[in-house]
Structure 1
């Protein structure tokens, strides 16, 4: 919920002044300059974010390469039908583990890194699948191994950054996802030409080479990712920040949001209950499910749709990357604007509005003979398919009241994304192809639902903020005056 103007002006000014030494807290006593903090934030961005981006890159690459495999006779070689393929995609989305509960205990470097290595091994072994049973098992295992990565990564980001820095960093994190979408088609275009090498199909080489690269990324993550802001040391003892820098990293985040103080490695039942009973999350989760379901369909069937427009079988993989590159740029822009203006709701609203508009355009054009126009609208819907998602995630995280509640909230966000993937995997049915009029009608309905959900989210916070304002500023002024008196600072009511 947005802070009231009076609180932002006065409390913000109070928080930027170091408390008096008699507080007895090392975190309260440490001081630093704005330039020093700026350099430190830049350094965090060079140490923490790139490794998380690489993890997300290989996750999306390994999750989405099945769509590229479809253009290389995957159904025929494995011996499954399109509808059986959809069932396998559903099983992958069923894989859910209590990731952040484990993260609390073992830390991000080991937990996240081991997940990456695990799903990389599954990707390699799925190159040798044959038959429906093997296909279903490998998709389920891949979903189980991947499911904990995103909530663990999002929660980890909130531990390193302040509230007004979160949306931008979430957007940077999602660059890994979108870069994978943008490059996987180009990579697949080259690898799929290896059909026949050593007697293997092109899609088999795709899984083997990308799986081995994933294992390498996971091992790198384990070796180099720092344990925490207060203990910024790799598993082998390499220290990225000085003792003073570590103190500043911890102090700046906790002064901004004291709820991020993690005093133990166990989540309290109250935090779980608060997250699960928070009615304000309902519209966010509806937005996630309804909005991401069509995106899941486009990832799986995008290259196949381009083939149906009349483009070449392997060339379609490369053409699909155009929309993904545009998506990457729009994602960065939305994250920057959301943090710059401190307005996450309106930014998400605009993204979903364009998403709905281009989805409707695709549905209206399915019977058109103009292949170029159909490809253009398919390309234009992709930049808005998920660029609102990291902003929505940051919006949810900022409204959590404690570290544990924030962790559960991020897990709920990813569970919503998994449900969306299950729905999306069933939108395009074999009997509805190759134009998929029913599937596109479903996509339009879901984007309309996501637009209504983001509208409700914006309205509910506007209403709650207005209700708080109508209670009067007397109580707020009293709290601010008490803080100023406690810290020995002058205060004058306005």
Structure 2
């Protein structure tokens, strides 16, 4: 992408990049869910997202530094951003191939760089089996994979992550522009000022991963973080003074960032069956991409400096996330009580109960 000559070439390369990376996130989230029981997953998903938050904290600084390479080898600064960051990604991909373990039921799982010995892998399998009874992976067939589409919860979780990702992608794309055009900071200072919100959200994100695991609950924490988002959006859009509005940016970042791993954990906790969970993860990542498309369009140049139409869209996403989560909490409590009374079996397992 750093060497293209026309916008058509750039578009084509971006489409290829999107196609090649499309399976990464659903595969990663599914792999995590096979190694940990339901109430160990929250902090693992949070840790997965924290890496992205920390990377975002330094992306602005790194981009500003790479822009100073403008003219080297006859290339503009923006081209060097693509080239250098692309090379770093390739190096990390090689390390991932070496160090990321396979699924626990893989006969060679214990051979991955001494990750775990055979008895430790067997312990993981027994623990996951005791938790939800689906540690053994059935052979793949298209029919078995698509069977997960019969469960309406897969689509509700997809809508949940779609709405939650709208503010996440909107800020990821537009935070420097909002700080520059909306608050009047220079381009250089706006890039540097993206770091504190991302660092703060990383700490907040990880904390809520541990807290939601400790209390074995997801929905109430999603609702709390929706309220945090609503406060942040309100302060950011209607606060007086740049300092107050910048504080709103930090609050919004915390609320929206903490919800993303919790929602993925919520789905993993309440969808039983390996291929069904794989199907649900695919739906979620696809819907997250839809949220990303919406988020990439909400902050328009003509709405500066307040960007209130875009913030209203983000506010709508937070409110809909809150309402949908409230519905799931009420539904899960209701069917759990019915299962306790012996009136129904949940997820084809008499011992299974939904996580609230």
On whether the aligned pair clears a TM of 0.5, the verdict is yes
Q: Corresponding residue for 2:81?
A: 206
**Contact 1:259 1:402 (8 Å CA) reproduced:** yes
Q: Corresponding residue for 1:298?
A: 171
Q: CA deviation at 1:133?
A: 1.3
Structure 1 residue 254 and structure 2 residue 129: aligned? yes
In the alignment, which of 328, 335, 339 is matched to residue 457 of structure 1? 328
Structure 1 residue 422 and structure 2 residue 293: aligned? yes
Task: Tell me: CA distance 1:240–1:282, structure 2 relative to 1, closer, same or farther (3 Å).
Answer: closer
Summarize deviations over 1:265-287 as a string: whole Å, max 9, x none: x14625522x3232234443222
Instruction: Give ranges in structure 2 of 5+ residues lacking alignment.
Output: 345-349, 352-356
Q: CA deviation at 1:139?
A: 2.4
- Counting matched residue pairs gives 345
Q: CA deviation at 1:450?
A: 1.8
Secondary structure of the residue that 1:194 maps to in structure 2?
Answer: coil
Q: CA deviation at 1:183?
A: 1.8
Distance 1:437 1:147 in 2: 32
Task: Tell me: CA distance 1:237–1:394, structure 2 relative to 1, closer, same or farther (3 Å).
Answer: closer
In the alignment, which of 378, 399, 405 is matched to residue 249 of structure 2? 378
In the alignment, which of 311, 320, 323 is matched to residue 197 of structure 2? 323
**Contact 1:167 1:394 (8 Å CA) reproduced:** yes
Distance 1:472 1:148 in 2: 39
Q: Corresponding residue for 1:168?
A: 43
RMSD, aligned α-carbons: 2.4
Summarize deviations over 1:423-455 as a string: whole Å, max 9, x none: 111112344345433222222222222222222
Secondary structure of the residue that 2:10 maps to in structure 1?
Answer: helix
Structure 1 residue 310 and structure 2 residue 181: aligned? no
Task: Tell me: CA distance 1:361–1:328, structure 2 relative to 1, closer, same or farther (3 Å).
Answer: same
Task: Tell me: CA distance 1:248–1:363, structure 2 relative to 1, closer, same or farther (3 Å).
Answer: same
Q: Corresponding residue for 1:180?
A: 55
Task: Tell me: CA distance 1:466–1:258, structure 2 relative to 1, closer, same or farther (3 Å).
Answer: closer
Distance 1:244 1:202 in 2: 52
Q: CA deviation at 1:471?
A: 5.2
Distance 1:347 1:236 in 2: 38
Q: CA deviation at 1:334?
A: 1.0
Distance 2:8 2:16 in 1: 12
Structure 1 residue 345 and structure 2 residue 219: aligned? yes
**Contact 1:267 1:404 (8 Å CA) reproduced:** no
**Contact 1:227 1:235 (8 Å CA) reproduced:** no
**Contact 1:231 1:246 (8 Å CA) reproduced:** no
Summarize deviations over 1:449-484 as a string: whole Å, max 9, x none: 2222222222221222233345579xxxxx89xxxx
